[in-house]
Structure formats: structure tokens, C-alpha cells
A and B are shown apart, each in its own frame.
Chain A
């Protein structure tokens, strides 16, 4: 209990004094996660829309695999990315291991199935409403996908936020491929793991509270920007 209280005080103090390490780690966390989210959304949302409007032979299998990949173990993803990016790996020449780019790659792989699956659930329902209308209007496949993505944008926000939540709290994969290097690849979650390992629970809790506060703040900001929950909007 004392650790918890101390942690809250430390968190408060770190924020109030704008601790330089905290600011650096927090900004890096945000940069890595938001970049991963943007890339994942660019892949997952059109994929979800395509799965909703197109009928092809392996569609059901693809959806089932996508749903199964939502539970992809992050450490395994980290390990696979590590193997690919290590010096002896196929992409070793790019020298990306232990860089924020490697962390972004790992996060993208982890959250694409999650965002795509949740988005597909929403878009599938929207497509069942729009199906006859868009076919009647002679809309092309691309136009159908665009209509679904635009009209379903507020539901897709939920999918993106789920991806953000998963990515910002991720530790296993980015620890493996990032290495938790001070002033280079250390982010909030890996810093928490480090402080816990050192036995500095108050500092770890302080960082944890900052992480939670940041996740809530980003969610609120996105909801506010998207005008969700206001009358007559979706």
C-alpha cells in the first residue's frame, strides 16, 4: 500500500516537474505507438472493408485466421522480427535491430489483426445495410470500400483505439527487438519492466500511472476530435 501511495506521489512529481527522462520516454512511446497505429490502420482498415464487400474462395478462412491472429503472442512476434532483422537475418543489412523502427514493425504486426478483425465486425454490419443500395447504384468495388470506410469511420475509431491500447501497453516484443536502450529505444513499458527488476516499485508505479493517464488522454482526444457520442453522429 505504501508503494502504491509512493508511486502516485512519484508520478505526480514526475509530471509536475516535467522530468526530462520521463518526457523523453513518453514522447518516444507516443511516437512509436502512433506511427505503428497509423501504418496498421492503413493496412487493416482497407483489408477489413475488402473482406466485407468481396466474396472469394478463401474468404472465411482468411477471416478465421485474422481472428485467430488477434491472440498472437507478442514475444513470439518479437522473436520472429528479431530473427529477420538480426545481422545474420534476411533484413540484417538494413541495420534496424534495436531501433525504434524495429519496435514499430513489431507493433504493426501485433495490432494489424486486432484492428482488422474489430473493423471487419463493424463494416460487415454496415455492408449488410448498404449492399443492395450500392449495387443498385452501380458502385465499383473501390467506391464500395470507400463508402464503407467513410460512413463507418466512427466505428473504425473504436478499432483503432483498441489497436492503440494494445500497442501502448506492449512490452514483450519491443523489449526483444528494441533492447530497452537508454535514450534510444526505452519506452514507458520497458522502463517500467526495468524499474521493477531493479526493485524500485515506486518509480515503476509512477511510470505506470503516467502510462495509464496518457492512454486515457489519447482516447479522450480522439473521441473529442471525432465528435463521437454527440447527437445524430456515429
Chain B
């Protein structure tokens, strides 16, 4: 599936360039963390790479046919969308989409629910869950198809420390099982804990792309250094 190669990839809305042009090559291992100030284009960049935002220019190529690449990836949104179903039916839904029999899909979903500590809430309506529980459910729903790539858009935004730790544990398990994580975050501590490589995005462009230890030891650009210091970067 990898490498993922973006060449001059561009997203424009109403004449304004939101992201790009982006030239980027992502290899198949490790966890990539996307950082940058608000409005820099992190979310749009992730959605573009995942394919739910249409590009207005450039190319984006996986090392396999596009349809196959789409089947082998998943996305977790910053504000997790809860389908109007029970917890178990939410988690089982992606399996049902690929034709898994309902009974089998629900059994596997129940296993996942137990794994994320929602085993006693299988039949609860998903919209009644707390923020942390919703995000865990969204993760389980994304991981149940065992994707090769998981995109995450600030999955721990507005969660407390305990919920963040639970999410990170699930992510580390997924990474250990071979899922490639590409995730945006505002939390520098989290970025340092999880990242193997860092993409620093500014004004819709990939400003810096380097190994995590290199970036956190000393960014190459003034903007990168200022961002790490906590200065306001625009």
C-alpha cells in the first residue's frame, strides 16, 4: 500500500487555497504526527490524504489501486460522529458494510467494546455516551476492519488526562499490530510520546517533515522553532 506519494496536491475552496501545493512521501512504518497552529490546514491535509476532500490539483498515489487503498484505511474525526444506533451496532457497522453477517459482526463488535471498556454498555444508545467514550467507540469502529492506515484528527481534543491515556493505549496497541497511524494533535506532549515522524503544517503547506527526535531536538525552520517555544505562529 505504501509509499503514499503526494505531488503538488492542492485543495482550494471558493478561490482560496486551503492546502498545498503539497509534495510528500510517506513510508509504511511508524506513526506520523501532524502539528501546526489552528487553521493551518491539518484537518484538510488529513482528509485530502484519506480521500474525503477532493483535490483541485496535483496527484496522490498509493502503491496499490485506489479502490483497494480506500478499503484499507479508516478515519477518526475530531468530533466523533455517533450513528443513531446502539454501541454494539455502531462498532459493527463497518463490518456489515463489507458483507459480514450481522451476528458475526455484532460478536466481533462486542469483543471490541469489551476491549475499550464499553462491554457493559453494548445496548446503550451511542449518542448518550460521554466525550471520552464516544472517541473510544469511534476508534473501535475504525479499527474493527483492521485498517493498514488510520487517520486521526485530534482524537484527544477536549478529553481529560485519563481518557487521553486510554486512547493513546489503544493507538499504541493498533500501531504494534501493524496499523500505520497518521494523526494531528495540538498536544505537544502527546506528539512526543507517539511520533516517529512529524509534519509541521503552516498556511496549508508542509513546512517541515522530519524524524520526530530531530524535530523536537531542533526544528529546521524559524517558524518550527517558534511553534515549539509556544510563540504565536501564523
Interface residues of A (CB under 8 A from B): 126, 129-130, 132-133, 135-139, 143, 147, 151-152, 232-234
Contacts and interface: CB of A to CB of B under 8 A. Distances in A.
A129 B94 contact: no
Contacts of A130: 81, 83
Given A130-B81, A132-B81, A138 B97 contact: yes
A226 to B, nearest CB: 13
Interface in B94-147: 94, 97, 124-125, 127-128
Given A130-B81, A151-B84, A234-B84, A138 B75 contact: no
Nearest to A129: B81
B81 A138 contact: no
Contacts, number: 38
A136 B74 contact: yes
Given A232-B128, A233-B125, A147 B83 contact: yes
A132 B77 contact: yes
Interface string B40-52: 0000000100101
Contacts of A147: 83, 93
A130 B94 CA distance: 13
Instruction: Tell me which of B50, B74, B77, B97 has the highest count of chain A C-beta atoms within 10 A of its own C-beta.
Output: B97
Nearest to A136: B75
A138 B77 contact: no
Nearest to B145: A137
Contacts of B84: 126, 151-152, 234
B211 interface: no
A33 to B, nearest CB: 29
B148 to A, nearest CB: 14
B89 to A, nearest CB: 10
A143 B124 contact: no
Contacts of A151: 83-85
5 contacts: A132-B47, A137-B93, A143-B97, A151-B84, A234-B84
Instruction: Tell me which of B74, B81, B84, B94 has the highest count of chain A C-beta atoms within 10 A of its own C-beta.
Output: B84
B12 interface: no
B165 interface: no
B97 A139 contact: yes
A151 B83 CA distance: 7
B83 A137 contact: no
Contacts of B97: 137-139, 143
B170 to A, nearest CB: 18
Contact of A136 (B52, B83, B124, B125): B52
B203 interface: no
Interface in B38-81: 47, 50, 52, 70-71, 74-75, 77, 81
A52 to B, nearest CB: 15
Please give me the 4 A-B residue pairs with the lowest Cβ-Cβ distance, nearest first. A232-B125, A151-B84, A136-B75, A133-B81
Contacts of A126: 84
Contacts of B70: 138
A135 B81 contact: no
B77 A133 contact: yes
A137 B91 CA distance: 12
A130 B71 CA distance: 18
A152 B84 CA distance: 8
A147 B77 CA distance: 19
Contacts of B47: 132
B215 to A, nearest CB: 28
Given A143-B97, A232-B128, A135 B83 contact: no
Contacts of B93: 137, 147
